[in-house]
Structure 1
Amino acid sequence: MSDAEPVDSQSAEDAPEGDRRAVDDEPPTDADRDAAARGGLYALAARALTEPDEQLHEALASGALDRECRRLLDRTTLDVHPPDLTTDDDRETVCARFNDLFVLGHTTVEDRTDGTIDAEGPSVSLYESGYRPEASWNDVNLDLARVYDYFGVEVDTDRRENHDHYRLELEFAGYLCRREAAVDPDAARARLDFLDRHLAVLSEGVADALDGEPGTGYYGELAAFCRRLIAADTADLADRLEEGGDP
């Protein structure tokens, strides 16, 4: 699985210069546009939940990412309040915030006489296993590996991310949406199971953890939005499938 690019509502040719690399083509006309839009939202969230490169920062600063998120939401039947995916900060500041929240650990000297230290991980874990005290790391990741393998999806091991990383789970949810939209209506059932057993737990954990952190910037907005999106998508899928209608 790889990063999804942030997109905007215009065609690449018509977009302003600052937005041009933040746009993408429309979905095929024969696709389920609601499912395709939900897939776009999951992909957008996965891309946004990274340390920003120049392209992502430009999409944030110009408002292209925010506009695309709202456009995609309008194409779904979900009643979800959109986030504010913009920033006035320069790229270095946003990168520093990302690393402070999600990457850098904290070390405290417990005993200055012998140098004993207490080392902790980052303030907010982006891994599902960090929010599953009832399950081992191995159990969580093996289950995800089986799910990814069943659908023929591979994790890019060069990125050194485990199967339970938030970005990967968001990308996989987006993949299941696109699969439903294009070729496989039954993928909706697989998505409901995946959201219920994995992504809902992770989104709740990350959003709650960020609620307790100061100065989260747009990452706090993004995490809260992901929690709302996943909860709404889960409830909608459950209602439709329980009624016995089309997924």
Structure 2
Amino acid sequence: MTNSIVTQVEVEPAINMARQSLYRFAAISLLDPRSGSWEQLDTLRTSGVLEGACAVVRGTDTAKADPLGFGELSLEYLTPEEVFKTIPANSNLLNAEYEHTFGLLVAKACPPYETEYIDGKATFQRSNALADVSGFYRAFGLKVSSQYPERHDHVVLELEFMAFLLGLERQATEEDASSERVSVCREAQKRFFREHLAWWLPAFAKLLSRENSDGFYAALAEFLSAFVAAERALMGVSAPAGPASPSSTERPEECDGCELAS
């Protein structure tokens, strides 16, 4: 067995475990705090798991995106430190910040739904995108919990699905690294990320930061902007041709003249 093969076999489980942890962290951070996310974040803050996961990804040569796409940040920003520093002191305060950011209905300033970033007049395209997301979930035997009903294109569900696929790949790799199941999981990750996350998540993060000039969600936006760039590089996904923009959002002042506001 060559050194390159040994390295690949040893490294892939570590990087995939790290990526899975980061997807779950991002999903938990964007959950409605009424679901108990503050308690989960408080536990993660002292566990050291996220710091280690970020270090693994930052230390992976193929995780460096060059060039960066619109709204993306470099690997040095892939750290949970600022997110942990800005977690509100209790769940009530986090919930207040969440409601300020997302409101009680669909947020107009930074909607957490993929299809809100598709032209509002393109109803057929929106329906197709939502159906495709739902099809991915069904193909892998998943359905949204009735306890927390949410549209299938919600950012939390899409991030959780990526974590789920990485878990399946890890399990398949442990059983037989050359199996077709491994290839199926990897292809599903790449396609789902390319078609349902990479193209709109940077714009969502930018708008999230705009709504929160400092504090928890501003720090999380920075983390997301670095994470999406790293994931794009790791999976060999090209940067989107241009920034996405929710069809209902107002023109961002700091992006005067750019496509995010168009």
> TM-score normalised to the size of structure 2?
0.65
How much has 1:203 moved relative to structure 2? 1.2
Residues 41/65 of structure 1: CA separation in 2 closer, same or farther (3 Å cut): farther
Greater Cα shift, 48-57 or 230-239:
48-57
Aligned to 1:227: 225
Aligned to 2:96: 96
Do the aligned partners of 2:21 and 2:163 also contact (CA within 8 Å) in 1? yes
Cα shift readout 1:218-242 (whole Å, capped 9, x = no counterpart):
1222123123212211222218xxx
Higher relative CO (Cα under 8 Å, sequence separation at least 6) belongs to: 2
Q: Matches of 2:221 and 2:87 in 1, distance apart?
A: 19
Q: Matches of 1:125 and 1:65 in 2, distance apart?
A: 30
Matched, 1:74 2:55: yes
Cα shift readout 1:124-158 (whole Å, capped 9, x = no counterpart):
21100111227533222101011111111211233
The letter for the 2-side match of 1:160 is P
- 2:83 is paired with a residue whose SS is coil
Aligned mate of 2:83, from 85, 95, 106: 85
How much has 1:32 moved relative to structure 2? 1.6
Q: Matches of 2:13 and 2:44 in 1, distance apart?
A: 27
Matched, 1:165 2:165: no
Matched, 1:132 2:118: yes
Q: Matches of 1:39 and 1:209 in 2, distance apart?
A: 25
Structure 2: where are the runs of 5+ without partners? 1-9, 65-74, 173-180, 238-262
Aligned to 2:245: none
Q: Cα RMSD between the aligned structures?
A: 2.9
Aligned mate of 2:167, from 178, 185, 197: 178
The letter for the 1-side match of 2:88 is D
Aligned mate of 1:151, from 140, 143, 150: 140
Do the aligned partners of 1:60 and 1:66 also contact (CA within 8 Å) in 2? no
How much has 1:166 moved relative to structure 2? 0.3
Aligned to 2:202: 204
Q: Matches of 1:30 and 1:63 in 2, distance apart?
A: 24
Q: Matches of 2:163 and 2:87 in 1, distance apart?
A: 28
Residues 60/157 of structure 1: CA separation in 2 closer, same or farther (3 Å cut): closer
How much has 1:58 moved relative to structure 2? 4.7
Residues 168/216 of structure 1: CA separation in 2 closer, same or farther (3 Å cut): farther
Q: Matches of 2:46 and 2:117 in 1, distance apart?
A: 28
Task: Note the 1:21-100 alignment, pairs <5 A.
Answer: 32-52=13-33, 56-58=37-39, 60=41, 64=45, 67-76=48-57, 77=60, 78=63, 80=75, 81-83=78-80, 84-86=82-84, 87=86, 89-91=88-90, 92-100=92-100
Do the aligned partners of 2:33 and 2:94 also contact (CA within 8 Å) in 1? yes
Instruction: Answer 1 or 2: which has greater strand percent.
Output: 1
Greater Cα shift, 215-224 or 164-173:
215-224
Do the aligned partners of 1:82 and 1:225 also contact (CA within 8 Å) in 2? yes
Cα shift readout 1:158-208 (whole Å, capped 9, x = no counterpart):
322111000000000111111122213211221111111111123122112
How much has 1:104 moved relative to structure 2? 3.3
Instruction: Answer 1 or 2: which has greater helix percent.
Output: 2
Residues 125/38 of structure 1: CA separation in 2 closer, same or farther (3 Å cut): same
- 1:212 is paired with a residue whose SS is helix
Q: Matches of 1:185 and 1:167 in 2, distance apart?
A: 24
Q: Matches of 2:160 and 2:50 in 1, distance apart?
A: 15
How many percent of aligned residue pairs carry the same amino acid?
26
Cα shift readout 1:58-112 (whole Å, capped 9, x = no counterpart):
554577268332111223324532142223633222210101111235xxxxxxx
Q: Matches of 1:204 and 1:165 in 2, distance apart?
A: 15
